[in-house]
Amino acid sequence: MPTRILHDLLSENFPLYQVSLSALEEISEIAETLTFRRNEILFAEGKIANSLFVIESGNLLSYSDNAGQKNVNRFWFSNQPVILLPSLITKSPLASTIVALNECKLFAISFAKLTNLAQQSHQIAEIINLLFALEATQLFEYIYLLKVEPAERFKNFMQTHPTLIQVATADLIASYLNMGYSTFARYRQSRIL
């Protein structure tokens, strides 16, 4: 199953890249299937990430706690990689908590095992580079999103992720969009879309 998910993820995001099925199968052999219930914590703040993940189904949320208030800094969706780069590379503690918004099925891939495979296969090294590029793209999209006006930010996000409102509360989405709850509620009621 991880082979298909990884293949679809890479083919969709990098259509010109010829995905090596044998490399994907090698990665799949070291992947572990994990399931999380709604509100179950994948990583607590302060923990060190040692795996990267690919979401087969479900949604994740990353937040930091500020005096009891959740400051949302990331959502992940089905068929996306979850790569906690600073923690993976430098072994530094996470500054956020990662939690399941709904029931999630993930494939966990040990970063140590993956890098060992990459040392033996340039195709696996290329796949790692593509996954890192995809992570960087997602981060740049978020940075761009925060630079536009709040109304445009709301519109872009809700058009891109219309079903998120079914699994995340409005205050969480408002926090992610860097706007107050009342502003988010006003845009939502005005049907700005």
pLDDT digit string, tens, across residues 78-116: 989 999 988 998 999 999 999 999 999 999 999 999 999
In the structure, what pLDDT confidence band is assigned to residue 69 with cuts at 50, 70 and 90? Answer: confident
Q: Is 144 strand, coil or helix?
A: helix
User: What's the confidence (pLDDT) of residue 68?
Assistant: 80
Domains and CATH numbers, the chain: 2-122 (2.60.120.10)
- Would you say the C-alpha torsion 113, 115, 116, 122 has a positive or negative sign? positive
pLDDT at 1 over 80: no
Taking the C-alpha atoms of residue 193 and residue 181, their distance in angstroms, rounded to an integer, is 17
- Reduced to 3 states (helix: H, G, I; strand: E, B; else coil), residue 130 is helix
What percent of the chain has pLDDT above 70? 98
Q: pLDDT at position 192, please?
A: 59
This prediction's pTM: 0.88
Instruction: Provide the Cα torsion 161, 86, 143, 62; round to 10°.
Output: 40
Percent of the chain with pLDDT over 90: 66
Q: In whole angstroms, how far apart are CA 114 and each of 24, 31, 124, 186, 187? A: 11, 9, 8, 46, 44
63: pLDDT confidence band, cut at 50, 70 and 90?
very high
For every residue of 22-68, DSSP letters joined together read HHHHHHHHHEEEEEE-TT-EEE-TT----EEEEEEES-EEEEEEETT
Give residue-wise pLDDT tens across range 134-185. 989 988 888 988 899 999 999 988 888 888 888 999 999 999 999 999 999 8
Strand-pair partners of 74: 62
Residue 191 has pLDDT above 90, yes or no: no
d(C-alpha 57, C-alpha 102), whole Å:
9
